[in-house]
């Protein structure tokens, strides 16, 4: 008897039948791009999912065979799992390499023929084919997902408001704990151009991220910090870049550089309701991005995304087959579904096609991987609609990921463990659209260990938000403004505010009126 081990399984060469090879090749070109091993594993899995022990699945003698694949490529890193599944399904466990190879090739052929029947039963509709496969997923199964946990920082995080943080009356330094018990860790800083709001926000962010060693995501709608794929050196920082504030931060210049984020990531053990919510969030983000009307076509877009999400669940059960959903796949599915419903793709399809052509996303990283790093995403070279959609999809993914996490821990004194910091410069670019994911992050991410910092020029920018973001910020700092109204600041400061309270005469250069957690508002010299 020859030696039969997993190493031996890896070294064997397995062949599909010619019929199976041809059909799976067609499937690769239309629906499941990738190497031959990907669709081969799908076929084998399809056969095993509908197989009774003892059933005869031998390939008839004389059957024409296709090109062989070596075991190391066919099974990848999961040879042990596949070996167990195939052996367990056999009436008599294989004792020889040749017997095991015969079982693999037989399941490969049988599964391909079953897939072919599935495809023909739905009249070769890619969308209906995906739905059919999704329906075969066993209920209640555990779906492998992104289990990577963000780095956590326990204990109090003590910071200053800006580089100076001095009470101009007493001359004393001002400190406060950003994650103290019972308060919101979120920060909003307002001020007109050249007031120092961005400088102060980045300094506060540097303290938080540095003290807690946190990952950070900085959204840069106007491209102030990134240009031509590189971090921008700023004269006011002595020729330094964002690296001085956030060591290790990496630049992304959209659309010159695609964002490597799986923007439609599915949480572990996802259910139908959560998939529906993901599809609705995409529809909402797309509608807010391009501001189009057409309830029927927008609903077709939602159905397209939901169908793709449902179809991906069957691949989630086999990690090596897990493939993120791309904008190209959404465009293809939307076009096909529109045709099936006798609809043209219209302006929605045209806009989706134009945005897709920019290749803004290349989903290689799960949210756990992406949001565990330090990134600045600049949009200086992007036009308005693609920029908005990219920002919205990034925020959707961050919100979906955060909501999949459990609450972060409290230390013995009640200080909240921190996990991540989101900074949005020129936040008016997002606030004006009342984006659902940003609202959710402001309302709910604090309990998950998230910090949101919003930097904007005017109090008017927050007036359009029904959620009253400023009241949900633990720290609100306001430099001199040029706003037409400051009514939205009343709730944050706990009293009726006047435009005169934020004039250059009242707030000299570098000074802000600051409402800190658990303290009355006071003037603080943030920078000199």
Query: What mean pLDDT, rounded, does the chain reach?
Result: 86
Name the least confident of 31-40, 269-278, 332-341. 31-40
C-alpha span between 218 and 377 (Å, rounded) = 6
Beta strands in 53-103 (DSSP E): 69-70
As given in the structure block, the two tokens for residue 209 are 């991220």
Q: Is residue 292 predicted with pLDDT exceeding 70? A: no
User: Across residues 154-162, what is the average pLDDT?
Assistant: 91
Beta bridge partners of 377: 219, 252
Q: What is the pLDDT of residues 221-266, one digit of tens each?
A: 999 999 999 999 998 888 999 999 999 999 999 999 999 999 998 8
Angle of the 36-49 helix axis to the 18-30 helix axis, nearest 10: 110
Beta bridge partners of 376: 218, 251
Of 211, 141, 129, 213, give the one whose Cα is nearest residue 176. Answer: 211
DSSP 224-242: SSEETTEEPPBGGGTTB-G
pLDDT-derived band at 268 (thresholds 50, 70, 90) equals low
Q: What is the pLDDT of residue 278?
A: 92
Q: Is residue 106 predicted with pLDDT exceeding 60? A: yes
User: Across residues 76-96, what is the average pLDDT?
Assistant: 80
Q: What is the pLDDT of residue 251?
A: 97
In terms of average pLDDT, the best of 50-54, 109-113, 131-135 is 109-113
Q: What is the pLDDT of residue 142?
A: 34
Q: Is residue 354 predicted with pLDDT exceeding 60? A: yes
Q: What is the pLDDT of residue 172?
A: 95
Q: What is the pLDDT of residue 6?
A: 62
Of 401, 283, 392, 273, give the one whose Cα is nearest residue 334. Answer: 283
Q: What is the pLDDT of residue 488?
A: 86
C-alpha span between 399 and 444 (Å, rounded) = 9
Inter-CA distances, 174 with 158, 161, 199, 465, 526, Å: 10, 7, 18, 31, 10
pLDDT-derived band at 143 (thresholds 50, 70, 90) equals very low
Q: Residue 205: which residues within 8 A CB-CB, separation 6 or more?
A: 216, 218, 245, 246, 421, 423, 453
Q: What is the pLDDT of residues 162-175, one digit of tens each?
A: 999 999 999 999 99
Q: What is the pLDDT of residue 500?
A: 92
Q: What is the pLDDT of residue 166?
A: 97
Name the least confident of 64-78, 272-286, 314-328, 364-378. 314-328
The better pLDDT of the pair 33, 384 is held by: 384
CB atoms closer than 10 angstroms to residue 274:
16
pLDDT-derived band at 319 (thresholds 50, 70, 90) equals very low
Q: Determine what percent of the chain falls in helix, strand and coil, rounding each to the nearest 5.
A: 45, 15, 40
Q: What is the pLDDT of residues 60-73, one digit of tens each?
A: 889 999 999 988 88
As given in the structure block, the two tokens for residue 245 are 């504030």
Q: What is the pLDDT of residue 330?
A: 92
pLDDT-derived band at 178 (thresholds 50, 70, 90) equals very high
Name the least confident of 87-91, 204-208, 250-254, 378-382. 87-91
The C-alpha R_g of the chain, in whole angstroms, comes to 28
Q: What is the pLDDT of residue 508?
A: 95
Q: Is residue 465 predicted with pLDDT exceeding 60? A: no
User: Across residues 427-444, what is the average pLDDT?
Assistant: 88
* Sole residue written with tokens 């004389």: 62
pLDDT-derived band at 192 (thresholds 50, 70, 90) equals very high
């Amino acid at each position: 008897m020859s030696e039969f081990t997993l190493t031996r399984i890896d070294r064997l060469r397995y062949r599909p039948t010619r019929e199976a090879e041809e059909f799976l090749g067609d499937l690769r070109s239309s629906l499941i791009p990738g190497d031959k091993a990907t669709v081969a594993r799908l076929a084998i899995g399809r056969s095993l999912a509908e197989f009774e022990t003892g059933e005869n699945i031998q390939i008839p003698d004389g059957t024409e065979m296709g090109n062989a694949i070596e075991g190391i490529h066919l099974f990848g890193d999961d040879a042990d799992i596949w070996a167990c599944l195939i052996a367990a399904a056999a009436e008599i466990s294989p004792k020889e390499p040749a017997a095991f190879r015969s079982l693999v090739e037989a399941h490969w052929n049988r599964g391909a023929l079953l897939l072919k029947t599935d495809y023909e039963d739905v009249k070769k509709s890619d969308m209906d084919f995906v739905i059919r496969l999704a329906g075969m997923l066993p209920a209640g199964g555990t779906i492998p997902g992104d289990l990577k946990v963000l780095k956590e920082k326990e204990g109090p995080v003590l910071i200053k408001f800006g580089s100076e943080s001095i009470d101009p009356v007493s001359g004393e330094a001002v400190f406060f704990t950003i994650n103290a018990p019972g308060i919101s860790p979120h920060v909003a800083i307002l001020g007109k151009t050249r007031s120092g709001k961005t400088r102060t926000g980045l300094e506060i962010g540097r303290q938080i991220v540095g003290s807690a060693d946190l990952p950070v995501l900085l959204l840069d709608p106007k491209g102030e910090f990134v240009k031509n794929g590189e971090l921008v050196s700023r004269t006011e920082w002595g020729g330094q870049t964002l690296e001085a504030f956030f060591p290790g931060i990496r630049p992304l210049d959209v659309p010159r550089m695609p964002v490597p984020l799986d923007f439609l990531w599915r949480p572990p053990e996802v259910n139908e309701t959560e998939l529906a919510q993901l599809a609705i969030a995409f529809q909402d983000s797309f509608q807010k991005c391009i501001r189009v009307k057409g309830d029927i076509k927008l609903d077709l877009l939602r159905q397209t995304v939901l169908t793709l999400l449902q179809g991906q669940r069957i691949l989630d059960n086999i990690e090596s087959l897990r493939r993120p959903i791309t904008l190209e796949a959404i465009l293809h599915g939307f076009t096909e579904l529109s045709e099936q419903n006798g609809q043209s793709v219209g302006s929605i399809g045209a806009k989706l096609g134009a945005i897709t052509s920019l290749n803004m996303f290349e989903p290689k990283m799960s949210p756990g991987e992406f949001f565990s790093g330090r990134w600045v995403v600049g949009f200086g070279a992007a036009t308005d609609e693609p920029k908005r959609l990219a920002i919205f999809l990034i925020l959707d993914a961050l919100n979906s990921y955060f909501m999949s996490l459990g609450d972060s821990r409290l230390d013995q004194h009640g200080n909240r463990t921190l996990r991540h910091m989101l900074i949005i410069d020129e936040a008016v670019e997002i606030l004006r659209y009342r984006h659902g994911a940003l609202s959710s992050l402001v309302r709910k991410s604090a309990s998950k260990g998230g910090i949101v910092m919003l930097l904007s020029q005017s109090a008017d920018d927050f007036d359009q938000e029904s959620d009253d973001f400023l009241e949900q910020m633990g720290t609100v700092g306001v430099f001199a403004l040029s706003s037409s109204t400051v009514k939205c600041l009343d709730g944050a400061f706990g009293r009726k505010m006047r435009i005169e309270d934020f004039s250059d005469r009242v707030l000299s250069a570098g000074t802000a009126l600051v409402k800190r957690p658990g303290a009355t508002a006071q003037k603080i010299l943030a920078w000199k």
